A and B are shown apart, each in its own frame.
Chain A
């Protein structure tokens, strides 16, 4: 009983200061931002209260509507693509391969290169090199395909990070599990399906959530590749929030946008977490 109390007390002493820190620098500014969403504040200077106007505008703005459609389409496709590819990459890089460190290092590079480099290189590839090979028009100039170009670049950059998380997940799978499996004759796909995957399921959950979040908040790749074009077909929600809230004078309106966006992603992610956690327990 005494040790139970000691345990409880220790956990509280750990978590309360950390929660306070988090509250002070995440929740407090969020609340302030929420308050600004009822104003026409431009970030500095004087402002007026406008009541619910920003929220009403939000639901009648076709540009905002289009950006939601675009962002979710992109996030869904990119998240699935990235997770499949990075799981394969992690398994491959974790296998008994030659040049292990070298290969792991090389495949990590896309994650370190800055947005300016990635933007320039991929613009070049999409604008000059791919059309030269395929004799088709540039993907970036096509309203139908520009979003796919952004998916490709997002995937190229973020596979490294998700692979890294899967690799560290694979380290928690004890070697003797494989040995036991080998004795049972489980190899290849079956070994993955019934042994490896269930064991790294928590990491699948983490990767799905992180990946979904990163892709829903896509911004850098859009600035680097299309700047929202062609014909406003690749404007993501974050693109609108940043460009119009920071550089434009729409801080109040975009705060409202950010609040709604925040609520939407939290709901999606919590549902995702709950669903995946339940799956974890089943496995």
Chain B
């Protein structure tokens, strides 16, 4: 009587989840490559990131199609329904992560081979923190781990603080280095992009908590 009677549906949910993980992997690689392109002034790598974004976009469409098909054909309720709702939400957040990687890669192209106005230390440090948040958010999603989701979201404030102080510092370079204004503005953009990566990770973490509890939390507040 208590056997699982929806193995076909469960198999489809598993496939959906593995698609989501594949998409998240692609987005994380894309962000790392964009950062490496910026740090090493690697034009080719930056172009690879920009041209490769369609893979992430296509995965998002595939996930949305599959989730909508399952909603239409399986009439999910309760956690099954939240799972599909969250699949749609999280894949859109991950798609934005891919777009941010493209934005960073474009900044790398704008700066090109121009010598960096200063050695880039804090920006990669901030990026490491943001990437850690992405990784924790995705892991918490994979393992449906609320504690890890909360831990991820707690880091958001720190990234926000770093963003504020880094941009302030970058702007102080402009008066002494007016020829580098374009580069400095691009670097400030990059800081903003990294801060958005942390925000999207927090949004994913919120979705994990919603999936598990059915309650909504604003972890960014």
Bound pair (A, B): no
